[in-house]
């Protein structure tokens, strides 16, 4: 026996090459697509949270416009309205806004009205509602009328519908973009796997003609490509998690509120990515192996 080769120390090499220069580009492409898919997922989650935050905030508040009667000053009418509303079940807090605040609100349209003492500027009462059991508009309206107050209850429903519609659209668009990128990532993983296997057609042919079972050949390629895709998915997901963490840190306690309120828990959304990439690659590899083997006979 040759001194150079000692069978006693010989270890069988894997049936497939341990690494291949072609795999580098494949890993990179899969990693980039996984990164984009994860980033989109984080964006969709943050957009959903932002939209929910806006509507929750609007739903939890109401504004009362109080028009003072001739026998009462605007301040006393507003104070009475606040006091009345504070006693309505489902109201957490009712606070009459100062005259300056009401004037500031109409300043964009009428300019400075502080000097126009005769102008009947209505007073506003800000009401904070109990989020679990908020007072209804009708209940507040009845309570104010019972006290002889001329007031208009604005529960923000007019523009809450617009906000909700916008928030819903943002969610759907985000989800659609995510699905498109995820589908593109899946398709590229599958395509790249097929291309990678086609390049190894000779190995499939030799194993097949040497008597390897079809399932054995499929398993070899399946685990090989699944491992590579999982590694690429891990790189992509890791990159997206780092970007997400950066956004969270850059935005302070609540992320880039209110535009992109990223929470630490959102970063968990990238975890399934390596598994999903591996599953797509495994299925693609198995189907491709089966197709290649069919072509051989």
Partner 1 sequence: MSRNPHAALAQDAETAIVRFDDVSMRYGRAPETLKDLSFSLAPGSFHFLTGPSGAGKSSLLKLIYLAARPSKGLVHLFGQDVSQVPTPERPALRRRIGVVFQELLLLDHLSAFDNAALPLRIAGMKADEYRQDVAELLAWVGLRSRMHAMPATLAGGEKQRLAIARAVVARPEILLADEPTGNVDHEMAVRILRLFVELNRLGTTIVIATHDQDMVARSGMPVLHIEEGRLVHHGLPRTDG
- Indicate the residue among 12 and 120 with the shorter CB distance to partner 1: 12
Q: What mask, x for binding partner 1 by CB under 8 A, covers residues 213 to 252?
A: xx-x------------------------------------
Told to check if 202 binds partner 1 by CB under 8 A, we report yes
Burial annotation 152-180 (CB, 10 A radius, 16+ → b, else e) = ebbbbeeeeeebbeebeebbeebeebbee
* Contact residue for partner 1 among 25, 169, 206, 227 (CB under 8 A): 206
Told to check if 253 binds partner 1 by CB under 8 A, we report no
- Indicate the residue among 12 and 252 with the shorter CB distance to partner 1: 12
Told to check if 12 binds partner 1 by CB under 8 A, we report yes
Separation between Cα atoms, residue 158 and residue 151, nearest integer Å:
17
Q: How far is the CB of 214 from partner 1 (least distance, A)?
A: 7
- Indicate the residue among 200 and 248 with the shorter CB distance to partner 1: 200
Give helix then strand counts, H and E, for the chain: 8, 4
* Alpha-helical regions (H) of 6-136: 21-59, 74-86, 99-110
Told to check if 205 binds partner 1 by CB under 8 A, we report yes
Told to check if 11 binds partner 1 by CB under 8 A, we report yes
Separation between Cα atoms, residue 153 and residue 106, nearest integer Å:
18
* Contact residue for partner 1 among 70, 132, 210, 265 (CB under 8 A): 210
Told to check if 203 binds partner 1 by CB under 8 A, we report yes
Separation between Cα atoms, residue 277 and residue 222, nearest integer Å:
12
Tokens 């390596």 identify what position? 274
Number of residues that bind partner 1 (CB under 8 A): 29
Bridge partners for 63 per DSSP: 126, 154
Which helix (H) or strand (E) is 268 found in, with range?
A: none
Pair of tokens at residue 222: 């399946």
Q: How far is the CB of 17 from partner 1 (least distance, A)?
A: 4
Separation between Cα atoms, residue 244 and residue 251, nearest integer Å:
11
Interface contacts to partner 1, rule CB under 8 A: 1-2, 4-5, 7-8, 10-13, 15-18, 202-203, 205-214, 216, 296-297
């Amino acid at each position: 026996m040759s001194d150079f080769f000692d069978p006693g120390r010989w270890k069988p090499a894997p049936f497939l090459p341990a690494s291949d220069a072609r795999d580098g580009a494949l890993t990179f492409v899969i990693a980039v697509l996984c990164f984009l898919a994860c980033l989109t997922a984080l964006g969709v989650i943050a957009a959903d949270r932002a939209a929910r935050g806006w509507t929750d905030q609007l739903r939890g508040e109401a504004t009362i416009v109080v028009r003072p009667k001739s026998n009462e000053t605007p301040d006393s009418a507003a104070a009475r309205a606040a006091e009345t509303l504070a006693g309505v079940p489902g109201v957490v807090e009712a606070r009459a806004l100062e005259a300056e605040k009401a004037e500031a609100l109409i300043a964009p349209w009428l300019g400075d009205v502080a000097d126009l003492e005769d102008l009947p500027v209505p007073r506003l009462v800000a009401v904070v509602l109990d989020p679990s059991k908020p007072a209804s508009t009708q209940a507040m309206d009845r309570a104010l009328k019972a006290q002889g107050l001329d007031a208009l209850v604005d529960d923000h429903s007019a523009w809450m519908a617009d906000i909700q519609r916008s928030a819903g659209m943002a969610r759907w668009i985000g989800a659609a973009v995510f699905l498109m990128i995820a589908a593109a990532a899946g398709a590229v993983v599958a395509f790249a796997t097929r291309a990678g296997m086609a390049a190894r057609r000779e190995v499939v042919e030799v194993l097949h003609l040497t008597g390897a079972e079809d399932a054995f050949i499929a398993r070899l390629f399946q685990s090989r490509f699944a491992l590579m895709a999982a590694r690429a998915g891990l790189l992509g997901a890791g990159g997206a998690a780092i970007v997400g963490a950066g956004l969270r840190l850059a935005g302070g306690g609540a992320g880039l509120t209110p535009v992109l309120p990223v929470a630490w828990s959102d970063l968990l959304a990238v975890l399934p990515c390596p598994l999903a990439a591996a599953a797509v690659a495994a299925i693609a590899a198995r189907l491709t192996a089966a197709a290649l083997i069919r072509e051989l006979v």
